[in-house]
Amino acid sequence: MTVAKKLCALAAAVAAVAATAPAHAGKTLDTIKQRGQLVCGVNTGLAGFSQADSQGNWSGLDVDVCKALAASILSDASKVKWVPLNAQQRFTALQSGEVDILSRNTTWTLTRDASLGLNFLPTTYYDGQGFMVPSKGKVKSAKQLKGATVCVQSGTTTEKNLTDYSRANKLDIKPVVFEKLEAATGAYFAGRCQAYTTDASGLASTRNKEAKDPKDHLILPELISKEPLAPSVRRGDDEFFAIGKWVIYALIEAEEYGITQANVDQMKTSTDPVVQRILGTSEDTGKLLGLDKEWAYRAIKAVGNYGEIFERNVGPGSALGLPRGVNNLWNKGGIQYAPPVR
């Protein structure tokens, strides 16, 4: 056998072993298992994404991501400690280890990705910044906000986007900046600003939750930015990063293959090889992540597939009533696309 052939054979053998070897658990996963609880950083209160009721029960799209992760790792979606964080606190809490994951309507940007010591997981909601104004006014387009006072929260991409949009369109918008979300929205509803700006999903949430009558407030049609909202984890723990990614991807692929919270047990008898891999009835993909073979099954059983999570929390049938739009699957006109679970 020539040297080249020997090297090729050795490389093939190494690849085969790597493909079947269990993953090293990683320090974050080890800590979560020892603690018996996932610590999840969420918004202090944003309907549809993360909000606690009067009994302290949390719900929302971002909340369901953490429940799915807890179900995959700890076999129990309830084993989550919720840590409410405002915009200024969120990154420090993750960097310092106060939380294991930040699942808090946070925009994925180059600066945040490259400079904060974070790794962003797949985008769970594709959003864009918009404006809300009183319906009784004459403003029907963002281009009509020339010289207007606009309430905005500091420490967000929203603040910079507003400045950029105002300058680019020569609108001379006057930002009225508040550190806390509640202060910004309260000032808008009190009439201190002519408009309020944040992500369009946040506008819908705020209008539904805080307005005396939601019909009194109009969300203008323009979106002035791209706001891909994604959870994030600390950089330096590739094993936990991989788990976070693939739990979300499994929820998206489950929707594509018709696996739901209601039928997931029945689907275990499916002869579809993709479904078998997702649910762990054929190949054991879990060992590559440091988990068992039913990691994805438990996530789906706990919260449903991505489409169910979307519909329940923010979709047309929810209180927010947001259209699926670009958040639909890639084969249904949207851009949600999961690499194959195999």
Q: How confident is the model at residue 26 (pLDDT cuts 50, 70, 90)?
A: confident
**Is residue 9 pLDDT above 90, yes or no?**
no
Sign of CA dihedral 56, 308, 40, 205: negative
- pLDDT of 8 reads 47
Sign of CA dihedral 266, 269, 272, 277: positive
- Could you report the per-residue pLDDT of 64-99, keeping only the tens digit for each? 999 999 999 999 999 999 999 998 999 999 999 999
Diameter of the chain by CA atoms?
A: 84
**Cα distance between residue 247 and residue 230, in whole Å:** 13
CATH architecture, domain defined by 21-126+229-320: 3-Layer(aba) Sandwich (3.40)
Q: What residues contact 192, with CB distance under 8 A and at least 6 apart?
A: 149, 151, 176
Q: How confident is the model at residue 24 (pLDDT cuts 50, 70, 90)?
A: low
**Cα distance between residue 166 and residue 181, in whole Å:** 21
**Is residue 14 pLDDT above 50, yes or no?**
no
- Could you report the per-residue pLDDT of 271-309, keeping only the tens digit for each? 999 999 999 999 999 999 999 999 999 999 999 999 999
- Could you report the per-residue pLDDT of 53-65, keeping only the tens digit for each? 999 999 999 999 9
- Could you report the per-residue pLDDT of 111-128, keeping only the tens digit for each? 999 999 999 999 999 999
- pLDDT of 23 reads 55
Question: 198: part of which helix (H) or strand (E)?
Answer: strand 195-199
Outline where DSSP puts E strands in the chain: 38-43, 51-52, 58-59, 80-85, 101-102, 118-120, 125-127, 129-134, 149-153, 174-178, 195-199, 217-219, 227-229, 232-234
Query: How is the chain split among helix, strand and coil, in percent rounded to 5?
Result: 45, 15, 40
**Is residue 166 pLDDT above 90, yes or no?**
yes
- CA atoms within a 13 Å half-sphere pointing along the CA-CB vector of 73: 31
**Is residue 165 pLDDT above 80, yes or no?**
yes
Which of the listed CATH numbers 3.40.190.10, 3.40.630.30, 3.30.56.10, 3.40.605.10 matches domain 129-225?
3.40.190.10
Question: 247: part of which helix (H) or strand (E)?
Answer: helix 238-256
**Is residue 341 pLDDT above 70, yes or no?**
yes
Q: What is the percent of the chain where pLDDT is above 90? A: 89
- pLDDT of 22 reads 53
**Cα distance between residue 236 and residue 73, in whole Å:** 19
pLDDT average, residue stretch 264-275: 98
Which residues belong to CATH 3.40.190.10 in the chain?
21-126+229-320, 129-225
- pLDDT of 156 reads 87
- pLDDT of 1 reads 54
- pLDDT of 18 reads 44
Beta bridge partners of 199: 129
**Cα distance between residue 154 and residue 179, in whole Å:** 5
Rg of the chain on CA atoms, in Å? 22
